[in-house]
Structure 1
């Protein structure tokens, strides 16, 4: 075990050396695109592939979401049951809704498949379908709301709390533009959700109210060519409205390999359609999505100076970059403007063969990542060679009509099936170990390894400092909002703080005063 750990340490130092030796000094990248405004109180534009925020307004403020809540409801249902399961509509599901709220004409006792219910939920915004699906998955709408909150935290939401599956008015039911974008991103990356939500019409089966069935259409007007708000490239979306929430809107659109998500909260009609169009135009006009593997040059410098179980690194490559990972950049930037930062923090959701992660940073923001992965094609080729040799041996024995003599097998030049299988297994075990570094390379590393480690530590310190500054700004923004809501002005707050500092300075010299706590 000690030997393996030592080899891993050598491998990591080797990568650090390669990164540091290929780093070039360059001028600061251009500023991030800006120059757009929307009338909605809360809004965000996010890249669906990387999760990078391209533009935002009040993105961490809390607002009522209304029926865009059903994006989370649909995602949870898809993740927790099969589409062909049968849902029975209870009295509570049908009648525990606000009078006049949206529905699909489904009655108590009606039975629909989960799939039909999801179409009614997302296209018709049917509140009785939201309730019925919640009861089907969790047993009650209250238990389902608990599941919604758990899932929201898993996605990274910090300003969200759900109290029902439909989004009807409740003071404890709220979200933020950023949190809702995280939820929408997860939903649109789910192929089942994408297929249902992109549908422009659907025929619900007959039930006790609609004897001939019911054809439904999406409420998102930008999806429909028959409306003046149609926008080419729309993947799907969800509308919402209550008197408290105002108009809310989730939209996903894709063009030229760039997939964007917009969220509008506390908007007004018809302006929220224009706000969404402006955000999408801004995104498609100013940004480009690139596959990291097509442009990354730093890590391609690993050459045959290093050996990987006797194989050179270049032909064939033992380590490859994930072919699908993307980064998002302004169109005025080049790939080299995105600085790579190597990390060994691999999570359960990352590719199975990943051994390292490369985060890309443009100025002060992360714009995507990719992974260094073990090339399984090498092992597949070796396994195929072993299988072929084993089959040839079996055919030889079959043609002779004699079984192999066990004692002779020990001295025979033809390997046995067992030995071939063991050879393949030993090959894979050895190949999955870190690189064996030649003595010359190790001597070089001895002189530069410390510098590389120090460089990595400095980069980590700067990142932590930047994160602390961002967290402070967020806390300050939230504090000022609470001040505004409570009727205390900033000047009054500063006066209170100054009084407390003066009081503490007489008791604790050299230390700052206590904190003024908000509840």
Structure 2
């Protein structure tokens, strides 16, 4: 019955409040520009794109690839696992590229390797982590593409864990923002990536160990590029990719992500301009606190003559956000409700509510069944789904990119100008680009996890254990099984429990009484035996005497007219009778 009422509620909301238009909404601020070829500014909480330039055009990512590598390793490996560096891991990199100085046979924990890869941008460490996780670099690339697809990426393909240039290794600003959004929701990733230094253990070339520092200058207070509020990020550079930079910063109740692709020594200034623009002009608004449009479902009402007081169990998902200009209110946004739920929806969801601002998707939330979904208020699933589902709306607003081959041709042409590092020094990844031969790995290497990584990655990444909970009643998801047990059942159970306790007590008492009586009989028998021994009579003789006495008593009853003479015997002994 509850599911039927929920379905009817959704139908009423769809027909009555499916679209709530916003009139005279303030314009979306746009007073910012960047010099990089591709860029994006995203609200990390809502997934809304605040600004985009060539949002869906593809570029070489260089070392910002390692964000995705780290996320996959964290999800598949134990941080205390030991990674052994193979010959392929050490030498399948270009000479002069970023390195942690590892040698064949060196060992480090996964945790140490992640610090070396994210802070030092060590390419041989990225290879070693890939081999440890999936058995080979090729197998790990399969996992990378599966994870990217799961996060909603549509313009990316990854061929190695380090970001070395390869015609089949590319991404877009929007896809990289989705990857960064997922990474900065992972506490382990944030802890490692936000570190200002880390001491690596001793290795063959560094017997005393050595300290690594982050390459992202906006984290360093003594650097001119320092930006208060930056949580972390990743730098990248090759001659073909140009400067690439991913940054996450939090300030004024907002958490923003920026991505810069094919920058021309302006990646830091472009990032600063985007962050200043976002923090100054926009706000993140909690949907459950700000939007009362759907809170009225808790009021008693009737649908088709049926009482619907049970609708009070519905509530808006917590910790879901929309992104709005500071001059706007949530009432200026357009909202739409749908009961056709995506696979990533929380198990207790009965409807999905999306928000747009002048045809720009700015966030989403779910209407949850409170009893079944009290613990389902996780904004992660909404944000990941919004990022994927919102791509089409963003493409309409920003303009879709051209084909991958055309964009890569443009990148290659632009790279001919030979841009150098931002500060004139050796770029972070040096000769990071390589050939296909440099990407070869041990295909038959042993996987570090029990399942076949290829089979795992080639399976539908969006499939989950919820597949058994198919949609019923025209798209309403099953919120779970609820047993409606009547109070009388619990009364019966309680009475039975009390009766069992009392019965157990009575049986215990009876046992103790019988045991005590048995002990007393045994004591009397022993005393009798001792007295018989004292007078020189055995137990058998005493029993025969008792038998004779019983026979005399029987004879007396059959011949009452003859009174036998009383004779004195052992049984007439006064002392014996007193002791009995």
Q: TM-score, normalised by structure 2?
A: 0.63
- Structure-2 separation of matches of 1:130 and 1:479: 27
Specify the structure having the higher radius of gyration (Cα): 2
Secondary structure class of the residue paired with 2:66: helix
Pairing 1:264-275 to 2, within 5 Å after superposition: 264-269=260-265, 271-275=266-270
Contact 2:63 2:163 survives alignment (8 Å) = yes
Aligned partner of 2:428 in structure 1 is none
- Structure-1 separation of matches of 2:98 and 2:363: 39
Aligned partner of 2:90 in structure 1 is 94
Aligned partner of 2:125 in structure 1 is 129
Cα RMSD after superposing both structures:
3.1
| Number of corresponding residues | 396
Aligned partner of 2:497 in structure 1 is none
CA 62–376 in structure 1, closer or farther in 2 if over 3 Å, else same: same
Aligned partner of 1:294 in structure 2 is 289
- Structure-1 separation of matches of 2:356 and 2:236: 35
| 1:170 corresponds to which of 166, 169, 172 | 166
What is the Cα deviation at residue 328 of structure 1? 0.6
Pairing 1:394-413 to 2, within 5 Å after superposition: none
- Structure-2 separation of matches of 1:4 and 1:290: 31
Secondary structure class of the residue paired with 1:376: helix
Q: Does 1:325 align with 2:320?
A: yes
- Structure-1 separation of matches of 2:399 and 2:257: 24
Contact 1:28 1:363 survives alignment (8 Å) = no
| Residue-by-residue CA offset, 1:315-350 (whole Å, 9 max, x unaligned) | xx4111112111111111111011211011323433
Aligned partner of 2:369 in structure 1 is 374
What is the Cα deviation at residue 469 of structure 1? 8.7
Q: Does 1:11 align with 2:5?
A: no
- Structure-2 separation of matches of 1:484 and 1:166: 23
Aligned partner of 1:361 in structure 2 is 356
| 1:116 corresponds to which of 112, 120, 126 | 112
What is the Cα deviation at residue 4 of structure 1? 7.8
What is the Cα deviation at residue 11 of structure 1? 2.9
Consecutive unaligned residues of structure 1, counting only runs of 5 or more, are 381-462, 488-519
| 1:199 corresponds to which of 195, 201, 213 | 195
| 1:347 corresponds to which of 342, 346, 369 | 342
- Structure-1 separation of matches of 2:150 and 2:247: 22
| Residue-by-residue CA offset, 1:152-189 (whole Å, 9 max, x unaligned) | 12222222121211111222221111111111111111
| 1:76 corresponds to which of 54, 72, 81 | 72
Q: Does 1:148 align with 2:144?
A: yes
Contact 2:348 2:373 survives alignment (8 Å) = no
Contact 1:343 1:356 survives alignment (8 Å) = yes
- Structure-1 separation of matches of 2:175 and 2:251: 24
CA 218–287 in structure 1, closer or farther in 2 if over 3 Å, else same: same
Contact 1:131 1:165 survives alignment (8 Å) = yes
Secondary structure class of the residue paired with 1:248: strand
CA 26–132 in structure 1, closer or farther in 2 if over 3 Å, else same: closer
What is the Cα deviation at residue 81 of structure 1? 1.2
| 1:212 corresponds to which of 203, 208, 212 | 208
Consecutive unaligned residues of structure 2, counting only runs of 5 or more, are 376-388, 414-580
CA 177–206 in structure 1, closer or farther in 2 if over 3 Å, else same: same
- Structure-2 separation of matches of 1:116 and 1:468: 38
Q: Does 1:258 align with 2:254?
A: yes
Contact 1:75 1:193 survives alignment (8 Å) = yes
Secondary structure class of the residue paired with 2:218: helix
Aligned partner of 1:470 in structure 2 is 396
Contact 1:306 1:313 survives alignment (8 Å) = no
